[in-house]
Amino acid sequence: MPAGDQVSLSHLASITRIVEADGESALHKSVHQVLVRMLETSILAHPRISRLIDVWEGIAGTANERIAGHLHQILNHEPDEKLVRHVFRCVSSTAALRGRQTGNHSHFFDDVIDRIVRSRKDGDKSLRCECCGYQFRNRDVKTERYTKIVESGFELERSLFPGRSGDPYKPIDRGNGMTWTQLTIDHVIPEETLGWSDPDNLEVLCMFCNLGKLAYRRPLEGLSSFAVGALAEVPSNRKWGQLKHQVVVAALSALGGTCSQCAKTKSDVELTVRPLLPKDGSINGFLPWNLKSVCYICLANEGDELPQLPSAEGLEDTIGVSSLESTLGHDTE
């Protein structure tokens, strides 16, 4: 579709259904998540919805009815109650109201810790990142949060788990005396995309996972960024950067928080990623679906030798150079 052409919601919805029905690979899921996000943001950005933010204080009592009515006109059918509730929460969130009041979610820290306490296993005293399972140390926690953590029965680690300090895919040092292991509170649905600041939309993350997910709501949503991220290890000695960072965090999130070898979860172990050797004809590169999640215990047991990717020398043209050039239209010349 040429740039500048209008894309209807019904058109997006039909493409989404086709992609969903066509396959269940990670690439299908990624395209599907991009399309779902486009549908969601198109609804939230629609003038009928976005203008409610400016008059919210005067319509709060009838907001659900107004939103349902607007969605009916936008979608041309009766909206699902879950969609109405989601739009309500986004529009009423502190992010939507930031023009008149500054969003602040740090004071929800105690409530988030209480939620984790209610859901943790009996006897489990570890406080972990809810994305990768990193077990927080004393030095990762701000002084004002330490008391709440200890009073809630958590025991903080004194040192890093063996194997983490030398992991090329999860660095520790951020520079200027800062680390990637700092404990943070972050939005599940990002505040930048109208996520609300309530305990049910907040989670405990290490700084690595927090800053790696950017403004994505779903783990494989940033498909275009991941396509570029395929070059994150080209050349092989490239330094750590944002390309590699976002791919690692997306993979950790998308792979379900489970070690691919021992099946332990992020509630019990810290997870990292390692490359999968490409199969004949598969898409190469540092991409979320070319990585596996694995815990440091399994890496220690197997010696943690990074797989050597095949060199370009002698590789067969499995995708067909002529057809690829035709598809790209020689736009790199």
14 vs 27: CA distance, rounded Å = 18
154 vs 143: CA distance, rounded Å = 15
- Under the banding of pLDDT at 50, 70 and 90, the label for residue 248 is very high
- For 19-54, the pLDDT digits (tens) are 878 888 877 888 888 888 888 888 888 888 888 877
- For 173-219, the pLDDT digits (tens) are 988 889 999 999 998 888 777 888 888 889 999 999 999 987 777 77
* Bridge partners for 292 per DSSP: 274
- For 268-326, the pLDDT digits (tens) are 999 999 988 767 666 678 888 889 999 999 999 887 666 555 444 433 333 333 333 33
Q: Write down the residue that tokens 């815990």 correspond to.
A: 295
Q: What share of the chain is helix, strand, coil (3-state, %, to 5)?
A: 45, 10, 45
For the whole prediction, is pTM greater than 0.85? no
CA-based nearest residue to 170, from 224, 218, 212, 128: 212
Most confident listed range (118-127, 146-155, 197-206, 309-318): 146-155
The mean-pLDDT minimum among 110-119, 135-144, 167-176, 279-288 falls in: 279-288
Q: How many CB atoms lie within 10 A of CB 7?
A: 11
Between 217 and 71, the higher pLDDT residue: 71
* Region of residue 177 (phi > 0: left; psi between -120 and 50: alpha; otherwise: beta): left
Hey, what are 298's tokens? 């399994």
Q: CB–CB of 315/278 below 8 Å?
A: no
CA-based nearest residue to 133, from 203, 198, 66, 197: 203
Q: How many CB atoms lie within 10 A of CB 107?
A: 9
Looking at residue 281, its pLDDT comes to 66
Cα 219–224–229 angle (5° rounding)? 80
